[in-house]
Structure 1
Amino acid sequence: MPTSTAARDVFINCPFDSTYKPVFWAIVFTVLRSGFSPRCALEADDSSENRLARIQAIIEECRYGIHDISRTEVDGDPPLPRFNMPLELGLFFGAKRYGNNDQRTKRALVLDREQYRYQRFISDIAGADIHAHGADPGKCIEQVATWLRTQSRDTKIPGGRKISEEFEVFQSQLGAICADRGLEPDELTFGDFAELVAAYLTVDP
């Protein structure tokens, strides 16, 4: 049975490829800047653990979920779509619908490149409020910051435009920050990036 959720944990369900990474990093930065803890399937690299079981456990522990369903293009031979993100969105919805009272407090933000594109491949969520980011990290930051502030009723969370400006400053310093740690920006893992952002925000909140 699902147990309790962590009030400030945010499950991030999104593509992890290099093309999407600027948006992914923007989401992680915004979650941390807003005073929440980002969680995703990349947080643990344990080959002995089933990936789906790990995702289910993270979903169970998170009150909030950010789901980007923008990457559903066909790939490979034969060409087939990738539906990991819609699957994990369904798991999150299922936990909220069928879980205990604590699980039913879950809140979800669904993102896509275009507001109504989802109707072509996952029309069953029609009626949900889909937020379009146009693959723009700055616009995505505004969507995420506004949603977190609204859902948590935490008035200390800055506006998205301010966080977007702070993210740009952080990005301009990321190379130097990585050099101090003996890292390269293009080799950062999710854990590396989240830790660097958290440390940066502690020094320059």
Structure 2
Amino acid sequence: MLQSLKDIFPLKTVLSILAGTAILAFGMVNIHKRVHITEGGVLGMILLLNYWFAIPAALLSPLLDALCYLFGFRYLGKDFLIRSIAATLCLAGFLKLWESLPYLFPDLTEHPLAAAVAGAFFVGIGVGLVVRQKASSGGDDALAMVISKLTRCKIARAYLATDITVLLLSLTYIPLGRIAYSFVTVTISSLLIDFIQDFSLETWKQRVRKHIRLARCSQE
């Protein structure tokens, strides 16, 4: 049993999940929650169904997350589910930590565009670090990863598809001006998640060496 857990959670995976959930929670508390940036994905769907059908959010949240995790278990395997449960617990812990502290990021309430961009970086980097380890910190990530696997599309497109669909439906009860900033957030964060998931240090080293060689050749 212990050896099995070590295989599922090598040190690199543990550190990446801890760093990712800490960064994600920081952005959620210090930017999203503070500036009231609307969400896409599962959270946005919870708000949408609550508005349309008056179903309590407390009931919808675990129900939709559980459904997404079941899809993840079905198509991504047991190890994915175990790592995702750990990541979800880490996220909950870091959310509680950041909420117990004073705000640690400048107040961007009067600058919603800057808040949308900054929030996107925290979400993109945080989620990207978790997804890179084949785990998810919430139902949104699990759903996007399943869609990406089944359709063989890049994960950025899967995130954008789910987020933008929910945001467009949210126009039934949220003003366009408020939704527009969320489009900025989900677009940037999706691209960042994709970049971090595919990032390879060795590939970048090879590119740097190639540019150095080309520069030397041009000088000669």
Larger radius of gyration: 2
Same fold (TM over 0.5): no
> As a proportion of its length, which structure holds more helix?
2
So what's the TM-score if we normalise by structure 1? 0.32
So what's the TM-score if we normalise by structure 2? 0.30
Higher RCO (C-alpha under 8 Å, 6+ residues apart): 2
